[in-house]
Amino acid sequence: MKARLALMVLLCAGEAAAQEIPAAERRSGTDFMSAQTRAVQEDDTANPGMLWVLQGETLWNEPAGAAGRSCASCHGEAATSMRGVAARYPAFDAASGAPIDLAGKIDQCRTERQKAKSLPRESEDALGLAAYIGHQSRGMPIASPDDARLDAARAEGKRLFETRMGQLNLACSSCHDANWRGRLGGSAVTQAHPTGYPIYRLEWQAVGSLQRRMRGCMVGVRAEPFAYGAAEYIALELYLNSRAAEMPIETPGVRP
């Protein structure tokens, strides 16, 4: 009830046209967290996301599939070969002629090169590998590729971000551009910069992807969420990354 009231207040406040956040005012979700949650994220011996990173490291070195090769067989040390990779995904995939996100790319490598069974999105193993690869880019600036073939999807992402949806008729921008200083049911609204994904969310008590997070928001405004891996999510990821360009990656992030 409280959340609903707060949402109504937001709705009214949200009528002011949503404007993009000026570069100087951009803040990572970390800035909105309590000192305690920040401390958990910043200490690798306390950050539960590191459990998934460790699992990812094991999988990285473990041969899989009919090809009998591990990720390391081709890519070698992830610390060098994967450094900065997560910072530039989603990227353009020439094979399918469409943008592909990091989770999709990992799975493509698994099925086509390792000849292994596809890892379902949001499975522990898929999240572990994504967290391990994301972790190699920690501290690096988000650098969405300057690739003209991605422009259409990025524009589509921006359009989706600004499109009202669901029974509550809210767009992402109604909260995350226009009301990011506010609070919703006691929680900070935040600016929705995807700096720490996959994140360990205390509410989930597990690691989840950016798509799971977006799904949560869509369910929250009572819209029907897209399917995991849908082109719409990848377009949104592309737009969010261009919106958060140059912000440092924190993977694995911890969020309330």
Active-site amino acid positions? 217
Q: What whole-number distance in Å separates Cα of residue 120 and Cα of residue 12? A: 40
* Residue given tokens 């073939």 in the structure block: 149
Per-residue tokens: 31: 């800035």
Among 11, 54, 165, 217, which residue sits at the site for other proteins (rule: CB under 8 A)?
A: 54
Per-residue tokens: 229: 């891996």
Question: Which residues sit opposite 74 in a β-bridge?
Answer: none
For other proteins, the closer CB: 49 or 134: 49
Q: What whole-number distance in Å separates Cα of residue 128 and Cα of residue 133? A: 9
Stretch that binds other proteins, among 52-60, 86-94, 223-231, 237-245 (CB under 8 A): 52-60
Among 50, 130, 199, 247, which residue sits at the site for other proteins (rule: CB under 8 A)?
A: 50
64 is a site residue for other proteins (CB under 8 A): no
Residue 244 near residue 140, CB atoms below 8 Å = no
Among 28, 30, 41, 55, which residue sits at the site for other proteins (rule: CB under 8 A)?
A: 55
Binding to other proteins (CB under 8 A): which residues in 18-47?
45-46
For other proteins, the closer CB: 58 or 96: 58
Residue 211 near residue 228, CB atoms below 8 Å = yes
Q: How far is the CB of 145 from other proteins (least distance, A)?
A: 33
Residue type at position 123: S
Among 5, 20, 58, 76, which residue sits at the site for other proteins (rule: CB under 8 A)?
A: 58
Of the candidates 242, 62, 29, which has an alpha carbon nearest to the alpha carbon of residue 153? 242
Residues that bind other proteins (CB under 8 A): 45-46, 48, 50-52, 54-55, 58, 202, 205-206
